[in-house]
Copies of this chain bind each other. A is one copy, B any other.
């Protein structure tokens, strides 16, 4: 059974980062990270998130519990750590300056989501399913969204000339993230089989038309 056949994980750099060959140390770190995440995902699937103590994950990944906490400060991070923010940032910066902010956000969001799907759909599925079902993960994910929101605010601040802490800017950004999140949750509830990009598009449409029903 091949170990990592044709499967990119979040532990592999998202973008083609043909960086300098890493030393043995760095390579081992990446392996350990992967081992922990894989063991965790497998156990979560088998027995559920709450029913899986970190100690057992450590055991399954063949590392000490201390090591698990060194790689992932909290159990939630094992599931939620991702590299989506830079992707979104790049996608939005790539939009032409003459585009309206809303349109730039829309295209940036759609583009980066497509990239994430292409990169590792299986992982997105697992992650979102867990996010839907485990309250602790939902809560933590929301925390993560406010951090992403700060980033997006900064990018849009440049684009619009507004200050990064501008209230209207923040409203826009948080509404977009809320809509995107809701679209993701709907997708999960529909069995993750539908067209996620279309769902997100629909969600952003609702925002763009001023929430009219």
Contact B207 A209 (CB under 8 A): no
CB of A212 closer than 8 Å to a CB of B:
yes
* Cβ of A164 under 8 Å from chain B: no
Query: How many chain A residues touch the partner (CB < 8 A)?
Result: 42
Cβ–Cβ contact A172 & B142, under 8 A: no
Provide the A167-184 mask, 1 if CB < 8 A to any CB of B, else 0.
Answer: 111111011111101110
B208 touches A162 (CB 8 A): no
The answer, among B177, B186, B202, B209, for a CB contact under 8 Å with A178, is B177
Which of A175, A202, A206, A207 gathers most chain B CB within 10 Å?
A175
By secondary structure, the A interface counts as helix
Inter-subunit contact A211/B207 (CB<8 Å): yes
Chain B residues with CB below 8 A from A90, complex form: none
CB distance from A84 to the nearest CB of B (A): 18
Known: A102-B212, A142-B142. 6 other contacts (CB 8 A): A139-B142, A168-B202, A168-B206, A171-B206, A175-B207, A208-B211
Identify the 3 closest CB pairs spanning chains A and B, nearest first.
A142-B142, A178-B178, A139-B139
